Amino acid sequence: MSFADLNLIPELQRAVADEGYTEPTPIQAKAIPAVLERRDIMGCAQTGTGKTAGFTLPMLQLLAPYANSSPSPARHPVRALVLTPTRELAAQVSDSVKAYGKFMKLRATVVYGGVDMQPQTKALREGVEILVATPGRLLDHVQQKSVALGQVEILILDEADRMLDMGFLPDIRRILSLLPAQRQSLLFSATFSDEIKKLANQMLRNPTLIEVARRNAPADLVKHQVYDVPALRKRALLARLIRSRDMKQVLVFLRMKRDCNKLARELVRDGINATAIHSDRTQAEREQALADFKEGRCTVLVATDIAARGIDIEELPFVINYELPYTPEDYVHRIGRTGRAGMPGEAISLVCPDEHRLLADIEKLLKRAIPRETAEDTEDRPRRSRPAEEREPLDEAPKRHGSTPPPAPRPMIAADGFDFSKPYEPSTAATERAAPPPSRLRSTRPTAALLGGLSGKDKK
């Protein structure tokens, strides 16, 4: 099947050809015709399936009649609104809208928190047909009257499950109340909780259900592995895995943002090029860390679940769960970063005894047991052949090398220039203090603070 078979207009066919796409992905083949028929959609799809183009292409086509080059803001009311949980995802969706819509005279902009509102206000006041936004910042603009939503015809909720996990439901309800009742709504979610079904029932009319993977099933190409390891030995095992498997690009997940810098710093001390991305870093720092990782200047990116949302890295070969997430759905989200676009990937979890219950929940959701490896399996052969007393200990226990001189100091500057040789100073922000210690496991759904410390309006 080609994009022409989906009756896409020539402007869009040219744009996808420029992107190098030769044929639609399964979700695109299903979603594009349904959206063009102005149907509501309930889409179950992970990142990496091509869902962004699946909703963006038909959205642009439906808006094509509004294309105009008038300078008057009145000629450019918001016709389509895309809501995303994080600024990274918002920026990515906005980039896609711009790339696919580059041959059309439609205006688009993106608004998210954590950055100056002024340039966003200016763009909104000039008028845009397509607005990509995170919920809190959108409401800030609504309050300031820099945007009106009374002419929205298409609403898209991307990664709706994540938005609910992050506590955006009240914001979403407020935004829904500002939109015309007569509209087309699309809801995309990687997982289907009861809360999502409830939201879908409220906002969708007779939706077409589009599923491209088994429900709650991670990409089939991913190989899952679990290493049973005491918590104190995780870091040494991580470093050893990265070296012995010659990993060149690894996304490492932690639960708490305050631990991300610490782990990245320790890896740098181990001689591994690592950086961290989490919501305490400025937008510029996050973008720089992501660019360094994507372009191969940095081997390891340490991230919280929230900071990693929307990270789009093609062919990411390894995802390592340094800590298991509190909810099994987050495991699915995390490993959705690998095994993408037909490439095989590996999801490796370092599991300490405290986390066995979380692992059982994940295996229940996956409906299969994950193979266990032992930490010794990671040792490279020459080392294994040495007598036990000569082996490097996995943990940080005092080294038993007798009179062997201490190793030369390793580089302490990360790819993004962050100096890890400075003493680690945990953030004292209120959000951080509110977070429980990492070892405290909870059976309830995680709060935003647990997932990365969010509070207030600018939580995106």
Judged by the rule CB under 6 A, the positions of this chain that interact with ligand AMP are 21, 24-25, 28, 47-53, 312, 314, 341
Q: How many residues does the chain have?
A: 460
CB of 314 to ligand AMP, least distance (A): 5
Tokens of 208: 């077409």
CB neighbour list of residue 321: distance below 8 Å, 6 or more residues apart: 253, 331, 334, 347, 348, 349, 350
**128 vs 311, which CB is nearer to ligand AMP?**
311
CB of 23 to ligand AMP, least distance (A): 6
Estimate to the nearest angstrom the gap between the alpha carbon of 132 and the chain centroid: 16
**3 vs 192, which CB is nearer to ligand AMP?**
3
CB of 285 to ligand AMP, least distance (A): 23
**24 vs 328, which CB is nearer to ligand AMP?**
24
CB of 12 to ligand AMP, least distance (A): 12
Contact 335, 265 (CB under 8 A): no
**301 vs 450, which CB is nearer to ligand AMP?**
301
Compute the C-alpha angle 104/139/153, nearest 5°: 40
**188 vs 418, which CB is nearer to ligand AMP?**
188
- Partnered with residue 320 across adjacent β-strands are 252, 348
CB of 134 to ligand AMP, least distance (A): 17
Residue with the CB atom nearest ligand AMP in the bound state: 52
Phi and psi dihedrals of 390, rounded to 5? -90, -10
Contact 149, 175 (CB under 8 A): yes
**215 vs 367, which CB is nearer to ligand AMP?**
215
Contact 358, 326 (CB under 8 A): yes
**52 vs 321, which CB is nearer to ligand AMP?**
52
CB of 307 to ligand AMP, least distance (A): 17
Tokens of 225: 């592995």
CB of 347 to ligand AMP, least distance (A): 18
CB of 240 to ligand AMP, least distance (A): 31
**218 vs 446, which CB is nearer to ligand AMP?**
218
CB of 99 to ligand AMP, least distance (A): 8
CB of 188 to ligand AMP, least distance (A): 10
**50 vs 328, which CB is nearer to ligand AMP?**
50
**235 vs 333, which CB is nearer to ligand AMP?**
333
Phi and psi dihedrals of 254, rounded to 5? -125, 165
Contact 166, 85 (CB under 8 A): yes
